[in-house]
Amino acid sequence: MSSSNFFFNNTTTFQFLLILFLIISSYEIDLKSFEIFKPNHITFIESHRGVNREFPENTLRAFQNALDNEIDGIELDVWLSKDNIPVVVHGSLFGFLYFYYKKAFGFVRNYLLDDLKKLEVLNGNDKMPTLEEVFILSQGKLFINIEVKDGRCDKLFPILVDLIKKYDMFEKISISSFHHKYAKYVSEFNKNNDKKIEFGFLYRKKLIFDLFKYDMENATLNVYYKDATKERCDKAHENGMALIAWFKMNDKENDEIYKELLDNGVDCIISNFPKQAKAYRDFYFSNYNKTNVTNSYNSDNYNINNEDEL
C-alpha cells in the first residue's frame, strides 16, 4: 500500500489533516495597508510631514501637494492642545513651538486652539492644521501615518478614536509612536471592535527586538532607515509585521539608498523627497517584474537638494 493510500484510508489521520488545513487556510495576518504577504505587494511611499521641501512641513499645502502627486500616504505629528484638540505640528522636546512658529514661546499643551491658529510658520504664513482638517483634506485618498508625540494616552487616544470613527478612517490611518503604552490602548480597542486600528512601534536601534514580546496584530515596526536591514525586515515579516523605514529631515536620500531598502524588503519608505522615491519605486518594481517597462528612469528629472532645510 502506498503512503498516500494509507493516509486517505486512515479516517483519523484524514480528519486531522482536514482540520489542520482549515485552520491554516482561515488564518490571516491583518496588515491592512501593506499586505506584505501578497505577491502583488509594492512598497508604500509616505511623504514625511507632507512635501516638506516645497512647502512648510506639517501644513495643509504640504499635504495637498502629496495628494496632487498621488503619493501613497503622508506622515504627520500630533499633539493635544489645551482644549483637547489634536493639532499637527512636530514640536521639539515636549511640544515646544519656538523652532516651528513665529512668536511662539510655549508648549502646544499650553495653547488653546484659537491661539494656535493665530500663529504662522517660520518660513511663511501657513497656519497650524488640526488633525480633523487633514482628514477632511485627504478624503480617504491618502494613507495617514499619525505619529503621536503627546504622551498623554488616556486623554488623546479616545479623541483620536472618535475622529477615526467620525470619518471612517480605519483603513486609511496608522497610529505610531515612541510611547509604546499607546500599543496597549490600540490592542484593547482592537479586541473589542470589528474595525481595527494599526499601530506602528517607533524604535531606536538598541530596542528593536524588544517589541516582539508584544502579542499584537495590526502592528508595524518603524525604524530609522540605516537600521532597516534585511535581517530586521525578515524578522518583522516572520512576526507578521510590516517594516517601515524613515528618514530624518536632513538625511541624504538617493536612488542607491532606495534600492538597498527595497532589496532588503521594506514595506514602506517615509521620504523627504516622496516624488523621487515614488518614481524610483515604480521603476524598481517594473523592472523587477519585467512588465510594463515603457521608458528608463532618470533621477535628473527630480530636483533633489539634500542640503535644504525647512
Give whole-number Cα distances, 258 to 46, 100, 230, in Å.
13, 29, 13
Give 255-281 pLDDT, tens digit per residue.
999 999 999 999 999 999 999 999 999
Residue 8 falls inside a structural domain:
no
- The answer for residues whose C-beta is within 8 angstroms of residue 40's C-beta and 6 or more apart is none
Residue 13 falls inside a structural domain:
no
CA angle (56, 60, 62) in 5-degree steps? 45
Residue 91 falls inside a structural domain:
yes
* pTM, to two decimals: 0.81
Side-chain-side CA neighbours of residue 38 (13 Å)? 12
Residue 260 falls inside a structural domain:
yes
Give 14-45 pLDDT, tens digit per residue.
454 444 443 333 333 233 333 333 334 689 99
Q: Environment class of residue 259 by beta-carbon count within 10 Å: exposed (0-12), middle (13-18) or buried (19+)?
A: middle
Give 186-213 pLDDT, tens digit per residue.
999 999 999 999 999 998 665 555 555 5
Say which CATH number the domain at 119 has: 3.20.20.190
Residue 127 falls inside a structural domain:
yes
Range of the domain at 253: 28-301
Q: What percent of the chain has pLDDT over 70?
A: 75
Residue 306 falls inside a structural domain:
no
Residue 19 falls inside a structural domain:
no
Number of domains in the chain: 1
Is residue 234 within 8 A of residue 68, CB to CB? The reply is no
